Amino acid sequence: MLFVNPPTFLLLSALTSTGLAHSHLEKLWANNVEYEAWDPNAGSIGAKYPSDTPSWYTTNVGGNPLKPNMAKTNDIICAKGASPANMSAPIDAGSELTVKWWMSGYPFPDGHWGPIIDYIAPCNGPCSSVNPADLQFVKIAERGFIRTTSSAEGYWATNEMVANNGTWAIRIPSGLKAGEYVIRHELIALHIAYEAIGKGPYYTDGAEFYPQCISIKIDGTGTKAITGGVAAKSLYRGDEPGLALNIHVMPNNNTNYTIPGPALWSGAELAEF
Ligand SMILES: [Cu+2]
């Protein structure tokens, strides 16, 4: 059963000709406060970007993926046409930021198997005025292949997110220094990752990246600083073992899957599953 309220219904109709392909964030929660996320589809038909969401602005109408050849462009940082949120959501270090993905009918296509990865970067001031290219990210969470099933592909983090009504919890490391930070939350889909096999870095096809940034604000007396981060444009090439592979092979061999990107940051603490 699909419940569609009138504004959304009109929106879907309006987008039929351009193709409504994938997902965007619908909501998020920090310190028990619920926020509406930015909807780039609504933006394309005139919705104004709100001042009260920590979810970054994007022009990614249709929630479309970025391909490996976009991994060295500004779009990989925080999605297509991204610019910072006007506010940063207060959140306690050590607590969970929860996000919810949305698309018509289901949160994300179940046939888009892949990892979910979360990064954090300090803004060194208000995130609302940060230059996205200056953000130095460390990885604070990663979840990839989870278990084999009767299908060749098996069960992945993206399947788990869909099964959990589109929600995903991100543990903010405890003891972080007070200040504003950007969370870079990312789904990666591997269903056509095999297209990049043997093609070298930054090929036009292959794995699909779905990043979204969220600004947060931490108070308190924590002392942990983020060090050793990298610019988002240095995270991926598209020909790593975890991005250029065929996940459709029987017998199921995805148990050896290597999540792409840098190693987990030493201060990371994973959410409970
Ligand atoms: Cu797709």
Domain that holds residue 156: 22-256
Is there a domain that residue 12 lies in?
no
- Tell me how far the alpha carbon of residue 207 lies from the centroid of ligand 1, in angstroms: 10
**Cα atoms found within 13 Å of the Cα of residue 103, Cβ hemisphere only:** 18
Number of domains the chain is built from? 1
Which amino acid would we find at residue 182?
V
- Tell me how far the alpha carbon of residue 18 lies from the centroid of ligand 1, in angstroms: 15
Q: Which two tokens stand for residue 245?
A: 């592979």
Query: Residue 270 above 90 pLDDT?
Result: no
Query: Residue 1 above 90 pLDDT?
Result: no
> Beta partners for 90?
217
Q: Considering only CA atoms, which of 264, 266, 186 is closest in space to residue 225?
A: 266
Is there a domain that residue 51 lies in?
yes
- Tell me how far the alpha carbon of residue 260 lies from the centroid of ligand 1, in angstroms: 19
Backbone angles phi, psi at 179, to 5 degrees: 150, 180
pLDDT in tens, 137-192: 999 999 999 999 999 999 999 999 999 999 999 999 999 999 999 999 999 999 99
- Tell me how far the alpha carbon of residue 112 lies from the centroid of ligand 1, in angstroms: 7
> Mean pLDDT across the stretch 124-133?
98
- Tell me how far the alpha carbon of residue 224 lies from the centroid of ligand 1, in angstroms: 38
Q: How many CB atoms lie within 10 A of CB 134?
A: 11
- SS3 at position 240: coil
> Beta partners for 112?
none
Instruction: Report whether 181 contacts 215 (CB < 8 A).
Output: yes
Is there a domain that residue 270 lies in?
no
pLDDT in tens, 52-101: 999 999 999 999 999 999 999 999 999 999 999 999 999 999 999 999 99
> Mean pLDDT across the stretch 100-115?
93
CATH number at residue 111: 2.70.50.70
Q: Which two tokens stand for residue 198?
A: 């043997």
Is there a domain that residue 121 lies in?
yes
Q: How many CB atoms lie within 10 A of CB 223?
A: 9
pLDDT above 70 covers what percent of the chain? Answer: 92
- Tell me how far the alpha carbon of residue 103 lies from the centroid of ligand 1, in angstroms: 12
Sign of the CA dihedral with 91 first, then 97, 98, and 102 last:
positive
- Tell me how far the alpha carbon of residue 227 lies from the centroid of ligand 1, in angstroms: 34
Q: What is the pLDDT of residue 118?
A: 98
> Beta partners for 147?
155
- Tell me how far the alpha carbon of residue 194 lies from the centroid of ligand 1, in angstroms: 14
pTM for the full predicted model? 0.92
Chain centre distance of CA 189: 11
Q: What is the pLDDT of residue 66?
A: 98
Q: Which two tokens stand for residue 91?
A: 């959140």
Backbone angles phi, psi at 78, to 5 degrees: -140, 30
- Tell me how far the alpha carbon of residue 208 lies from the centroid of ligand 1, in angstroms: 7
- Tell me how far the alpha carbon of residue 81 lies from the centroid of ligand 1, in angstroms: 19
- Tell me how far the alpha carbon of residue 258 lies from the centroid of ligand 1, in angstroms: 21
